[in-house]
Structure 1
Amino acid sequence: MTLSVGQEAMWLLHRMAPDSAAYNVALAVCLRGEVDGVALDRAVRMVVRRHPELRSVYREADGLLRKEIADDVPWGLDVRDGPHATVADVAAQPFDLGNRVFRAVLVRGEADTVLTLVTHHIGSDATSQWLLLRDLVNAYRAVVDGTAPEWPRLLATYEDFAEAERHSLSGTRGAELREYWRQVCAAAPPAELVPDLPRRAGGQPEGESCRIDLPEEVALAARETARRLSVTPAALLAGCLQALLYRLTGRSRFLVGVPGSVRLRRAFRDVVGHLANTMVLRADIDADATCAVLAAAADRRLKEGMAHVDLPHAVLRRTVRADGSPLCRIGFTVLNTDVVQPPLPMAAAGSATGHEITWRGLRLALLDVPQMAGQFDLAVEVRHGRRELNFVVKYDRGLFRPATAARFGDQLARVVRTAAADPHVAVAELSLVDDGEVERLLALGTGS
């Protein structure tokens, strides 16, 4: 079986840290009302048969990595009894890629029944997890009704993608991609924060995260500001992150890692697999730059980058960094909850559970589950909906203390609030502390 470059990179990362859950991709939903466990188990098995990557295993033989796809489906739904804390444990349980890459677990608690779908990144990505949930709900409805699932027809396989990628990299397109990214990365170091703890050579990342919720009025203001600037909300928020990094590091030129989808052909729209790639977002910040200027630059670079996103990050890194050093130590990603199916609202401020919807006859609510922390030194995952905006700061606790990550999140929230209210404020004039902190700092100078 042909493997993609991304899958080979995932295998190498797994070999380096087999007990890490940094590359587990999870999606959890609360199921309200009566749930037929037997029908749900059958639906899980149907979905695993539909998507070969879910029943793939990876083994080395004679120094070569091989992927095997099982014809039979030896696993279905795993049912457990426990509180919501168990859901986090399900998401954080490492995979043995020689045995399986996917699990579906139903956790029955006192208040809710939670379905958690977890796949190793070697066989999935964030979009794929939503595709799995969509297909699973359709299959469950079909089993209950005694009908066939209403699934869209698959127009390609993941192996089709892997073979097309290999062909592209060896041709003119591959050369064009390499040259584009050489120019983007030229003379630009990775954005990097001074860690609290010394970096350990070969140390396994210890992922942790904290969530920051912004008020509804800030979410609405950010959307409106992005519209007035003719940029995407993602670009406005990326510009805010760049502004904060500029202020904290003093560097005006740097790179940030940005995951993007490589589902560039319609045929791959419904394919489950590793169809994501980390590109880089470059910042070049002048001393008199404003948040609006950074947002416009980020919007342009993100759009250009997405037109060249199909160069695998492992190839990009080898192309640009002859010494093998990292291109990115800080990551940034955006999830727009308005475009996913099922259209599950994300968790509101102060809650771990989103608003309930009824979809295909099931009452569903999204459950916020910490995941995929430790891939970068520090990463920001922004999630926005029509009226919601929050972001999760993910960090390696072997480098940063929780208080540092929380402070970074609070500072980013302050920048977002300021930019949403007045995008033409100069980056050099952004306030990163509140009035109370200013008073405490001034008191230190007077000995109070």
Structure 2
Amino acid sequence: QKIPKLSNRESLPLSYAQQRMWFWEQLQPGSSIYHIAQALQLQGDLNIPALQKSLNEIAARHEALRTNFIVQDGNPVQVIQEPRAVELLVFNLQDIPNSDRPNQIEQLLQQQTHRPFDFASDLMVRGCLLQLDKQEHILVLVMHHIASDGWSMNIVWQELADLYQAFVSGQPNPLVELPIQYADYAVWQRQWLEAQVQQTQLNYWQQQLAAAPPVLELPTDRPRPPVQTYQGAGQSFTLSPELSQALQKLSRQEGATLFMTLLAAFQTLLYRYSRQEDILVGCAIASRNHQEIEGLIGFFVNTLVMRTDMSGNPSFLQLLQRVRQVASSAYAHQDLPFEKLVEQLQIERSLSYHPLFQVMFILQNTPTQDLELPGLSVVAQEIDNDKAAFDLTLEMLETPTGIKGKIQYNTDLFDAATISRMIEHLQTLLAGIVAQPEQNIAKLPLLSVSEQHQLL
């Protein structure tokens, strides 16, 4: 079924995902928890007018980036604005001594990342340039999740590279026109779900999540506060190429995807930590099942709840088949927006924890190309994220040198040392799984070598 282009583009409803973001903004005005920020280090001759023109062109091309949200008759509506220039602030740090620079860079990155977006008037994308030297810059792009997601960020960088390349060499915009825009999708999604999909999928999820435990009780360093603050920190790690390849191989042998194998391992870790046999984990899914939305910037990603029964102390291989079954069924019912699910299940809301799940697992496998900008060498720059939407989020990424991972955690609940240990336990567990996949999940190794020595 094709998504039609709307002729009337006035006062349109929000998509379900946008609506959730809009409600969140009413509850926590100006919160930066749903800001998506990415930065690149650029070495070489940067043509700033061509960069500005490229950003303006992206915002002109994608309506989602120039859509504002206002209230009409008590309901939020989308208002699509005319194209205008994207903010690109330039901070000159050339005169700052080298010793003070890292501090200054970090401060500016945090300040620009956290600055609020005004839903009623701002573009949902902005940029800034830190000029460290004539030949050295850091480019930061910040977008609000209401207009973007992980897949969208890849589109932004790819289009930026294509446009910049053209504009630097005096060529016209090389990008082909988009078939539809995000607002077309938002209106279509509501009609399609209400007409055909919602009830069947809702029936499945109601059955799948019946009598689910409201909270995963992990051992925390401090009691859960009555109101979440979303203060967070992150720790990164990399699995060795050997372990990464062994996990890929095990997945293939068992007819599972790498996502399923890593999820089963993570749920084993959570089972061992919490001693609960009913484990619910949230997982992001790209939700780009229509060709015409593949190239759009916007908030498409949906959240699926993976509920795994860990009872009976199965072997890891048996557990993997359970997870495979759960994930396959979830994918088959992936169109029901998470916000609709929570509303329909009439889940009791708590300010203290996230509904249905408090732990998230993400395997990034959206295609990322290495960016090539003429006359520049480009390297990704990490931005420290001091927010956490969940108790724990484990994010993993396949790279040519091995699987990279990061745990973003709520600092009200966990200390840094606890998370470091958890990462060690996860790595020990993964190594144990590939060595003995037929071992029962309660017996798989968790403790690092040093912890084993301490026990002796």
TM-score for the superposition, normalised by structure 2: 0.87
The secondary structure found in structure 2 opposite 1:78 is: strand
Name the aligned partner's letter for residue 57 of structure 2: M
1:408-419 alignment runs, 5 A limit: 408-419=422-433
| Closer, same or farther: CA 192–317 of 1 in aligned 2, 3 Å | farther
Q: Does 2:285 correspond to 1:263?
A: no
Q: Does 2:222 correspond to 1:197?
A: yes
> d(CA) in 1 for partners of 2:179 and 2:334?
22
- How far 1:359 moved relative to its partner? 5.8
2:172 is aligned to 148
- How far 1:152 moved relative to its partner? 4.2
1:328 is aligned to 357
- How far 1:22 moved relative to its partner? 1.6
1:37 is aligned to 48
1:207 is aligned to 232
| Closer, same or farther: CA 368–416 of 1 in aligned 2, 3 Å | farther
Q: Does 2:135 correspond to 1:108?
A: no
Q: Does 2:260 correspond to 1:235?
A: yes
Name the aligned partner's letter for residue 302 of structure 1: A
Q: Which moved more, 1:375-384 or 1:189-198?
A: 189-198
Instruction: Say if 1:24 and 1:371, in contact at 8 Å, map to a contact too.
Output: no
- How far 1:429 moved relative to its partner? 1.0
| Closer, same or farther: CA 289–370 of 1 in aligned 2, 3 Å | farther
1:307 is aligned to 332
- How far 1:63 moved relative to its partner? 3.3
2:305 is aligned to 280
1:91 is aligned to 113
Name the aligned partner's letter for residue 394 of structure 2: V
Name the aligned partner's letter for residue 175 of structure 2: W
Q: Does 2:211 correspond to 1:182?
A: no
Q: Which moved more, 1:304-313 or 1:326-335?
A: 304-313
Name the aligned partner's letter for residue 317 of structure 1: V
Instruction: Say if 1:330 and 1:379, in contact at 8 Å, map to a contact too.
Output: yes
Instruction: Say if 1:58 and 1:66, in contact at 8 Å, map to a contact too.
Output: yes
> d(CA) in 2 for partners of 1:383 and 1:377?
20
- How far 1:382 moved relative to its partner? 1.0
2:69 is aligned to 58
1:369-380 alignment runs, 5 A limit: 369-371=383-385, 373-380=387-394
- How far 1:73 moved relative to its partner? 1.0
Instruction: Say if 1:22 and 1:374, in contact at 8 Å, map to a contact too.
Output: yes
Name the aligned partner's letter for residue 153 of structure 2: Q
Identity level (%): 27
- How far 1:284 moved relative to its partner? 0.9
2:4 is aligned to none
Q: Does 2:451 correspond to 1:427?
A: no
| Closer, same or farther: CA 89–406 of 1 in aligned 2, 3 Å | farther
Name the aligned partner's letter for residue 432 of structure 1: L
2:378 is aligned to 364
Q: Deviations over 1:360-414 (max 9, x none)?
A: 6653222333448421111111111233212111112122222222222222222
Instruction: Say if 2:288 and 2:300, in contact at 8 Å, map to a contact too.
Output: yes
2:405 is aligned to 391
> d(CA) in 2 for partners of 1:302 and 1:360?
42
- How far 1:142 moved relative to its partner? 1.2
- How far 1:9 moved relative to its partner? 0.6
Q: Does 2:35 correspond to 1:24?
A: yes
Instruction: Say if 2:64 and 2:183, in contact at 8 Å, map to a contact too.
Output: no
Instruction: Say if 1:242 and 1:294, in contact at 8 Å, map to a contact too.
Output: no
| Closer, same or farther: CA 155–191 of 1 in aligned 2, 3 Å | farther
Instruction: Say if 1:317 and 1:324, in contact at 8 Å, map to a contact too.
Output: no
Name the aligned partner's letter for residue 41 of structure 2: C
Q: Which moved more, 1:252-261 or 1:297-306?
A: 297-306
